[in-house]
Amino acid sequence: MSMKNLIGLQPLADVIALSLQSNFISNEANGTSLLIIGKPETAKTSMIFNFSAPDFVSYFDEITQKKLIDEFIPFVQQKQKRVLLVPDLINCIEKQKNTRDQFLNMIKTGIDDTGIIRISTYHKQLALMQGIEGIKFTMITAITGGNFAKIYKVIRETGLLSRFIPFTFDYPIDVIKKIFDYIHGAKIDQKTLLIPKLCQKLQAIPNKPDLFREFDTISTLIGREYDGYGIRAQIGLQRLAKANAILNDRKEVTKTDIDKVIHLSNWINFKFNSIGVET
């Protein structure tokens, strides 16, 4: 798949592809969930939508707690769905303020390595048998920087933030100019955005402790943003590296996979670094 109208966003396409691919690592408890944060008009929704085609993905413009329980969780239980795509997290929260905490807690539990064991709401009662694996899924969602600031305290204190790998970015002036040139109808020198073909076959990718140690500093810095140690971030980064190995038809992680994730760590943070300057 290729897209010519999403200028400068190859790193964002890459990290979404890795997040999706991370759901097919058989020796990992779950995939890597992704929280994309950027200004309005930075193509977050368009980018997420372009990854909605695989049959293991469910895409919702907005999702309530009831819709999550009725229209997504059953398919996860049946192993038909693995990933929840929601282009704007704030829509889900603002339209169900009365049940916001329950909704966020369900998301937090679902994208955790333990998964959902019990559902007890006005709409639904569900308790899995003892010893049965919890209902787990990966979530890729986005939010503007302004709205992220509004909910930061809530998602940090509840532990939801620590269960996402963050991806923040901003457009530099030269990319903004190139976008306006494209809108005006001018021909621009722009590389075609590439999206790799995902492999939907479960594969075991062995751990590589010596290579994974290269992520320690990155994960520690992420953890500091939510008063944690970066343990979940470390696990998430390692899964991205394994996913990159699968995308490149390798049976084990190499230095190339580590370097790929380290390159993406220019935006796997809360610094809103410029994106697209290399295109």
The predicted-structure confidence for 217-264, as pLDDT tens digits, reads as follows 999 999 999 999 999 999 999 999 999 999 999 999 999 999 999 999
Longest pairwise C-alpha distance within the chain: 62
Which of 108-117, 170-179, 203-212 is the most confident on average?
203-212
Mean pLDDT, range 109-121, rounded to an integer: 85
- Give yes or no for residue 12 having a pLDDT over 90: yes
Whose tokens are 């994960």? That residue is: 219
Q: Is the pLDDT of residue 125 over 60?
A: no
H-type alpha helices, the chain: 10-21, 44-49, 65-71, 73-77, 89-94, 100-110, 145-157, 173-184, 209-212, 216-224, 231-247, 255-264
Cα distance between residue 195 and residue 212, in whole Å: 25
CATH architecture of 2-264: 3-Layer(aba) Sandwich (3.40)
Q: What is the mean pLDDT of residues 84-93?
A: 92
Quick one: pLDDT band at residue 2, thresholds 50, 70, 90? Answer: very low
What single letter denotes the amino acid at residue 214? Answer: E
* 64 contacts 94 by C-beta, under 8 angstroms: no
Q: What percent of the chain has pLDDT over 90?
A: 74
Find the mean pLDDT for residues 100-109: 88
Query: 58-72, 127-141, 199-213: which has the highest mean pLDDT?
Result: 199-213
Return d(Cα 137, Cα 73) in angstroms, integer. Answer: 9
For the whole prediction, is pTM greater than 0.85? yes
Question: Which pLDDT band, with edges at 50, 70 and 90, does 65 fall under?
Answer: confident
Mean pLDDT (whole number) for 57-63 = 94
